[in-house]
Amino acid sequence: MISIQGLRKGFGKREVIQGLDLELEPGRRVALIGSNGAGKTTLIRCLLGEYHFGGEIRVDGKCPRKQRCEVLRLVGFVPQLPPPLKMPVGQLVRFVADVAGSDPARIVAVAHRLGLNIDQNRHQPFVRLSGGQKQKLLIAAALGRDTSLLIMDEPAANLDPEARGVFFELLAEKRDKEAVMLISSHRLDEVATLVNRVIELDQGQVVLDDKVDDHVDLNSRLACRVRINRPEAAFARAVGQWGFTAAPDGLQWEGSVAGPDRLRFLGMLSRYAGLLAGLEMKDAGHG
């Protein structure tokens, strides 16, 4: 689906991406992580054909720079910062649907699922929406059409918990259709539950490429012991859903996690980082 070879991009004398190679097959759901200035946004802009670059990028065999319309027809993009568009919401929906050859009703339906009523906001300028509403509309515009590559830059940053849940559901639906997802985030825990590959960039180079479920035996299990510093009902509910049981004092929890789910499990735990006093994970063989 995506093939990147020897990608280089600089601004003036500063090289932001230095000879990056990457292959993403259909169905890959990638968390693109890295600190500020690591090259995440630059890589995304190269993939969108917005930057001039050295090396080669192919999306479905096509160059995003030379065949940008063909490539961008496959792409749903959610930017990190919503653009300050003055056009009313209704016009933006029509514009996106028209250029992408989609039905505006599909975008409206996705927005509705995310909790944004387009009809109520139809005449309101996009720029006047709240941060969360803007994010919902941009996500709806990306997901409300037929795409096989989703590129999202910190997509869930402004969403309320309910919308976040729906957003993950929508992505899971896309996942079933073998779409490639590239989700850029500063925080792995945000996207851990969604992805099956983690790529970390640092100074324009891949420093970690973890194909989570490739390296893990699908039948393996990890025995886990989690210690917390005080009992907490929300934590109990969360680990309870993973089938963990508590010691009588409620400070130690034990259970097992399927190997391929380890990233998702760690993502869940990271929400309670302040509570954690200890964590042990051991290979427990085949389950």
Return the residues of window 104-143 that contact other proteins according to CB under 8 A.
Answer: 125, 138
Of 12-20, 85-93, 193-201, 214-222, which segment contacts other proteins by CB under 8 A? Answer: 85-93
Rounded-to-integer distance, Cα 260 and Cα 111, Å: 32
Burial 18-52 (b: 16+ CB within 10 A, else e): bebebebeeebbbbbbbeeebbbbbbbbbbbbebe
SS3 218: coil
- Bridge-based pairing state of the strands 180-185 and 149-153: parallel
* Contact call for residue 91 and other proteins (CB under 8 A): yes
Alpha carbon 114 to chain centroid, angstroms: 16
Q: Which two tokens stand for residue 154?
A: 């910190």
Nearer to other proteins by Cβ, of 126 and 265: the residue is: 126
Question: Least separation, in Å, of the C-beta of 168 and other proteins?
Answer: 22
Residue type, 277: A
Binding residues for other proteins, rule CB under 8 A, total 29
Distance of CA 172 to CAs 132, 181, 204, Å? Answer: 21, 11, 29
Of 20-28, 68-76, 205-213, 235-243, which segment contacts other proteins by CB under 8 A? Answer: 68-76
Q: Which two tokens stand for residue 255?
A: 């259970």
Of 18-26, 44-52, 231-239, 248-256, which segment contacts other proteins by CB under 8 A? Answer: 44-52
Among positions 30, 31, 59, 72, the unique one binding other proteins when judged by CB under 8 A:
72
Nearer to other proteins by Cβ, of 73 and 186: the residue is: 73
* Contact call for residue 61 and other proteins (CB under 8 A): no
Among positions 6, 23, 25, 87, the unique one binding other proteins when judged by CB under 8 A:
87
Nearer to other proteins by Cβ, of 99 and 277: the residue is: 99
Nearer to other proteins by Cβ, of 61 and 278: the residue is: 61
Rounded-to-integer distance, Cα 41 and Cα 64, Å: 16
Among positions 20, 33, 75, 191, the unique one binding other proteins when judged by CB under 8 A:
75
Of 75-83, 188-196, 208-216, 222-230, which segment contacts other proteins by CB under 8 A? Answer: 75-83
Name residue, tokens 């990890």.
Answer: 222
Dihedral over alpha carbons 92, 96, 97, 98 (to 10 degrees)? 100
- Whether residue 109 contacts residue 35, with contact meaning beta carbons closer than 8 Å, is answered with no
Among positions 35, 61, 81, 280, the unique one binding other proteins when judged by CB under 8 A:
81
Return the residues of window 138-167 that contact other proteins according to CB under 8 A.
Answer: 138
Of 24-32, 97-105, 185-193, 240-248, which segment contacts other proteins by CB under 8 A? Answer: 97-105
Distance of CA 138 to CAs 120, 153, 272, Å? Answer: 17, 11, 30
Among positions 99, 105, 208, 279, the unique one binding other proteins when judged by CB under 8 A:
99
Starting at the edge strand found earlier in the chain, the sheet holding 149-153 runs 75-78, 149-153, 180-185, 29-33, 197-202, 205-210
SS3 113: helix
* Contact call for residue 69 and other proteins (CB under 8 A): yes
Contact positions vs other proteins (CB under 8 A): 45, 48, 50-52, 68-70, 72-73, 75, 77, 79, 81-87, 91, 95-96, 98-101, 125, 138
